[in-house]
Structure 1
Amino acid sequence: MTTTYTKSQVASHTTDAAGMWIIIDGDVYDVTKFKDEHPGGPKILKRVAGKDASKQFWKYHNDGVLKKYKPKLQVGTISDAKL
C-alpha cells in the first residue's frame, strides 16, 4: 500500500536533515541522497524541495527518466492532489 502525504507535509521536507522531498504528478519523491548524483547539480533540487516540481521536471526530462528513478526514489503520493 502506498503512503499518502499532504502538500503541507511535503513542504516541511526541504533540508538534508528533514529529507528533501519533491512532488511530480502527484507522486512524492525523496531526492535527499540523489541530489549529489543529479546531472544538473544539487542546487536545482534544493530550489524545488518541498514543492510540486512537475513543471520544471517535464521541461528538462522525458518519461524514461521518471520510469528509471521512480522505484528507487518514490516514497508516496499526494492525498490532496488535483489530478
Structure 2
Amino acid sequence: MSKTFTLKEVGEHKDGDSLWLAVDNGVYDISNFLDEHPGGAKILKRMAGKDASKQFWKYHGKTVLDKYGDKLKIGTLAESAKL
C-alpha cells in the first residue's frame, strides 16, 4: 500500500539530499533524478517541497509521467493537502 503524505510533509524535503515534490495527487522523490532531468537540476531544486502540478503540466505531457513516475513515486497526497 502506498504511503500518504501531507503537503507540509512534502515541504520538509526541499533541500539537501532529500528532495520531494507533488504532481497532482502523487508524491515523488526526485533526489536521485537531478542529473537525469533534461531541463537541469535547477528547476527541480526550485520546485522541491511544493506542489509542482501546474509547472509540470506546462512543460510535460502524460508520457513523461508514465515513463518516470513509477520509479520516483513514493506515495500520494492526503485529500486535505489539496485544498
Shared fold (TM-score, shorter chain, > 0.5)? yes
The residue number in structure 2 matching 1:82 is 82
- Stretches (4+) displaced over 3 A: none
Amino acid at match of 2:33: F
Give secondary structure in 1 for the equivalent of 2:75.
strand
User: Which secondary structure state, in structure 2, belongs to the residue aligned with residue 44 of structure 1?
Assistant: helix
Could you tell me whether the CA contact under 8 Å between 1:26 and 1:81 is conserved in 2? no
TM norm structure 1:
0.93
Percent identity, please. 56
Unaligned runs of 5+ in 1: none
Task: Give 2:66's aligned residue.
Answer: 67
Superposition map of 1:1-83 within 5 A = 1-17=1-17, 19-79=18-78, 80-82=80-82
Of Structure 1 and Structure 2, the greater helix share is in 2
CA RMSD of aligned residues (A): 1.2
Counterpart residue type for residue 53 of structure 1: A
Q: TM-score, normalising length from structure 2?
A: 0.93
Task: Give the number of aligned pairs.
Answer: 82
